[in-house]
Amino acid sequence: MNVEPPVRRVYVAGMADGNPEPAASRGAAPGLKPGRAPWAVPGARPLVQFEAVVKRFGGVTAVDRVSLDIYEREFFALLGPSGCGKTTLLRMLAGFEIPTEGRILLDGQDLARVPPHKRPVNMMFQNYALFPHLTVEGNIAFGLRQDGMAKSAIAARVKEMLALVKLEGYGWRKPHQLSGGQRQRVALARALAKRPRVLLLDEPLSALDRKLREETRFELIDLQDNLGLTFVMVTHDQDEAMTLADRIGVMNAGSLAQVAPPAAVYEQPNSRWVADFVGDINLIEGIVASVGLGETVIGARAGGRLRVAQNVEAKPGATVWLALRPEKIQIDTQPPAAFDANCLAGQVADIGYLGDVSHYKVKLDNGLALKVSIANRVRLVERPIGWGDRVWLSFAPEACVVLTQ
């Protein structure tokens, strides 16, 4: 691994292609130092490996053939709707659930025979699971005592952890004397105290208010850098996954739909489901008219031809979906002059003003409804575009992705 602390979260657009294939099969992206994107380095050895892991509870398949490599010092986020198997995946890594099929390896060692208390993995539980009979300090020190750490060292570490989660002076309280957010911070401190190889975080910040959540995010990142830990975090907060993670694994109904850095998940979703789940998107169904020379022409089902600056792996005549983020569409009250752009005319059906952005819902002449969002760059005294106005939507061929599945 790289010795110097890696510089965080600098991604070259399109660096990873959003392909969930094993990392080793892809080349390192140009312009990246090795170590910053270990999944893109050929031959890099993953710290944690899930190999075709399946978990069934009776008839329910909670995790379905998940194969995933997580690398040392990586901040990996599992993102997915409720009940898709995120917690179950973490619990298998911690050792509380035994995979029905497949293997989990840590440092190349099969974990099947390693009991939970011997795994160098700590988990922050979704329900905190604080010991009600112990004080905050007792909770944080619990794991350290198991290691037979010296009393003074334990005291120092506990103090450090309390400072980290901003709970100085709360050391002697019992969990029931804390607020929900404070309990969550104790749970975090307890899981961090042992400095595990892999820290598993199950919705770590969900009970914190916005300000504290943002602060804690930065602290988590700092901590991970300073201590060189590997984090696997479960969340269904997209912003959180986007800001924190090196890579995001998007889960759907037990399987991984896409594993890629945040930018790639957002800009290059590999399926309609991912595109729809992450952020807002317009999906336009169409049929491939022609492919070639880095450009694909698609005939929208509803009518109209759209050009995309992308070679699509589909034959002419195949059904595809054009995914277009609302913020990548330009809205004008006149037909736009740039004629290389795709252009669609319609009428404003709905407007939502959110302060920083405005959302428009435009009913196109061909029957489709598209969502458009515009950053409010100048102070809006009077809306330049109102209900029922005739507008022209345009977007560059580079602005959209074609999805074949």
Partner 1 sequence: MSDTGASGRRSWGARLVILIPALWLTVLFLVPFLIVLKISLSQSVIAQPPYTPTLDLTGGWQAVRDFAAALSFENYKLLGSDWLYIVSYLRSLGIAFAATAILLAIGYPIAYGMARAPRGLQPVLVMAVFLPFLTAFLIRIYAWINILQREGLLNETLLALGLIREPLIWLSTDTAILIGAVYSYLPFMVLPLYASLEKLDDSLLEAAADLGCPAWRAFWLVTVPLSLPGAVAGALLCFIPIVGEFVIPDLLGGSGAQMIGQTLWVEFFSNKDWPVASAVAVVLLVALLAPIVAYQRLQARALGER
Ligand X SMILES: Nc1ncnc2c1ncn2[C@@H]1O[C@H](COP(=O)(O)OP(=O)(O)OP(=O)(O)O)[C@@H](O)[C@H]1O
Residues within the interface to partner 1 (CB under 8 A): 94-96, 115-118, 121-123, 125, 127, 129-133, 142-143, 146-147, 174, 176, 190-191, 194
In angstroms, how far is the first alpha carbon of the chain from the final one? 37
**Rg of the Cα atoms in the chain:** 24
Piece of 16-24, 39-47, 86-94, 167-175 that binds ligand X (CB under 6 A): 86-94
Least distance CB 49 / Mg ion (angstroms): 22
Q: Which does 88 bind (CB under 5 to 8 A by kind): partner 1, Mg ion, ligand X, none?
A: ligand X
Q: In 10 A of CB 209, how many CB atoms?
A: 9
Q: Are 39 and 48 in contact (CB under 8 A)?
A: no
Q: In 10 A of CB 342, how many CB atoms?
A: 23
Is residue 324 a contact point for ligand X (CB under 6 A)?
no
Is residue 62 a contact point for ligand X (CB under 6 A)?
yes
Least distance CB 64 / Mg ion (angstroms): 16
Output the residue with the shortest Cβ distance to Mg ion. Answer: 87
Residues 6+ apart with CB under 8 A from 179: none
Binding mask 76-95 for Mg ion (x = CB under 5 A): -----------x--------
Least distance CB 186 / partner 1 (angstroms): 12
**Minimal CA–CA distance to 401: which of 269, 258, 263?**
269
Q: Which does 122 bind (CB under 5 to 8 A by kind): partner 1, Mg ion, ligand X, none?
A: partner 1
Least distance CB 234 / ligand X (angstroms): 6
Of 236 and 328, which CB lies nearer to ligand X in the complex structure? Answer: 236
Q: Are 394 and 342 in contact (CB under 8 A)?
A: yes
Of 190 and 325, which CB lies nearer to partner 1 in the complex structure? Answer: 190
Sign of the CA dihedral with 192 first, then 193, 197, and 200 last: negative
Is residue 96 a contact point for ligand X (CB under 6 A)?
no
Least distance CB 201 / ligand X (angstroms): 12
The number of residues in the chain equals 405
Three-state DSSP class for residue 87: helix
Of 96 and 353, which CB lies nearer to ligand X in the complex structure? Answer: 96
| Neighbour order of strands in the sheet with 198-202 | 121-124, 198-202, 230-235, 75-79, 247-252, 255-260
Q: Which does 315 bind (CB under 5 to 8 A by kind): Mg ion, ligand X, partner 1, none?
A: none
Is residue 238 a contact point for Mg ion (CB under 5 A)?
no
Cβ-in-10-Å burial (0-12, 13-18, 19+) of 367 comes to exposed
Q: 294: phi > 0 → left, psi -120 to 50 → alpha, else beta; which?
A: left
Of 57 and 131, which CB lies nearer to ligand X in the complex structure? Answer: 57
Q: Are 124 and 194 in contact (CB under 8 A)?
A: no
Binds ligand X by CB under 6 A, chosen from 213, 236, 307, 363: 236
Is residue 88 a contact point for ligand X (CB under 6 A)?
yes
Least distance CB 128 / partner 1 (angstroms): 9
CA 51 to chain centre: 21
363 phi and psi angles, rounded to 5 deg: -90, 115
Is residue 84 a contact point for ligand X (CB under 6 A)?
yes
Least distance CB 209 / ligand X (angstroms): 20
Q: CA-CA distance, 204 to 95, in Å (whole number)?
A: 19
Is residue 235 a contact point for Mg ion (CB under 5 A)?
no
Q: Are 320 and 404 in contact (CB under 8 A)?
A: yes
Of 237 and 276, which CB lies nearer to ligand X in the complex structure? Answer: 237
Of 125 and 321, which CB lies nearer to partner 1 in the complex structure? Answer: 125
Specify the pairing of strand 60-70 against strand 48-57.
antiparallel
Q: CA-CA distance, 329 to 325, in Å (whole number)?
A: 7
Binding mask 123-142 for ligand X (x = CB under 6 A): ---x----------------
Q: Which does 117 bind (CB under 5 to 8 A by kind): partner 1, Mg ion, ligand X, none?
A: partner 1
Of 157 and 247, which CB lies nearer to partner 1 in the complex structure? Answer: 157
Give the interface with ligand X as residue ranges (CB under 6 A). Answer: 57, 60, 62, 80, 82-88, 126, 236
Positions touching Mg ion (CB under 5 A) are 87
